[in-house]
Amino acid sequence: MTIRQKQSESWEELLMLEMRVLCKFLPQNFDDLENFTAPNMYSPVIHNSTANQFKNKRYKIIQEAKRQWLNITFYAYEIKIQEYEQQYQYELLQLESQLLNSITVDGSSVLNKIKEYVTYQTEQLKNDIYTKMSAFRGKLLRRRQRSSLSKTTTGVSPEPYLDVISNPFKTREWNHLSLGKTFSRIEV
């Protein structure tokens, strides 16, 4: 059960990170990456096409760096969860061989009871995590709405951008463009 508990903690952390990505509110260390990878060193006096090119390149670099870091983080969590699973399977085989090689007659029934118990406890851990995730999502959305940084930092999701000096769209129109081709009409 200790191994399953550690595995579920890693799984919970992974789900929390996925929820942060979905809610577009990444952990602070991802936003720190933005200042580290491409500080805003150049700010032209005249806003022309060169300034827009520079700004767009900077945005793309930051977004790609965050995506790569996020992919590495996801991969690390997946490996950690797999390692716990392998450790669990190994320990279960050890226990099985000890119980079946012992002198007791009901070694297999004891093993079945242990497996049932561990399965039940694992399901309880999963249910607890799902309950925590819905509460976490609500908190995350509220924190994102209150945060001024979430509106100024670069995200990891693909987002449209214009290569023009000024944006001809209103906020509502721009948000509609961000939805992609799945939406066919603008609500007025």
Q: 89-109 burial by CB neighbour count: b if 16+ within 10 A, else e?
A: eeeeeeeeeebeeeeeeebee
86-135 pLDDT per residue, tens: 999 999 888 888 877 765 566 567 778 888 888 899 899 989 998 888 88
The confidence score (pLDDT) of residue 188 equals 40
pLDDT bracket for residue 82 (50, 70, 90): very high
pLDDT bracket for residue 173 (50, 70, 90): confident
Q: Taking a C-beta distance cutoff of 8 angstroms, is the pair 52, 167 a contact?
A: no
The Cα–Cα gap between 92 and 114 comes to 10
CB atoms within 10 A of CB 84: 19
The confidence score (pLDDT) of residue 184 equals 47
Amino acid identity for residue 176 in this structure: H
The confidence score (pLDDT) of residue 154 equals 62
Structure tokens at 68: 């790569």
**pLDDT over 70 (residue 162):** no
The confidence score (pLDDT) of residue 187 equals 46
Mean pLDDT for 164-182 is 64
The confidence score (pLDDT) of residue 124 equals 92
The confidence score (pLDDT) of residue 186 equals 45
The confidence score (pLDDT) of residue 85 equals 92
pLDDT bracket for residue 81 (50, 70, 90): very high
The confidence score (pLDDT) of residue 64 equals 86
The Cα–Cα gap between 119 and 4 comes to 10
The confidence score (pLDDT) of residue 144 equals 77
The confidence score (pLDDT) of residue 114 equals 85
CA distances from 26 to 44, 93, 97, 178 (A): 29, 40, 46, 19
Q: Taking a C-beta distance cutoff of 8 angstroms, is the pair 149, 34 a contact?
A: no
6-52 pLDDT per residue, tens: 989 998 999 998 888 888 888 888 877 777 755 566 566 666 677 77
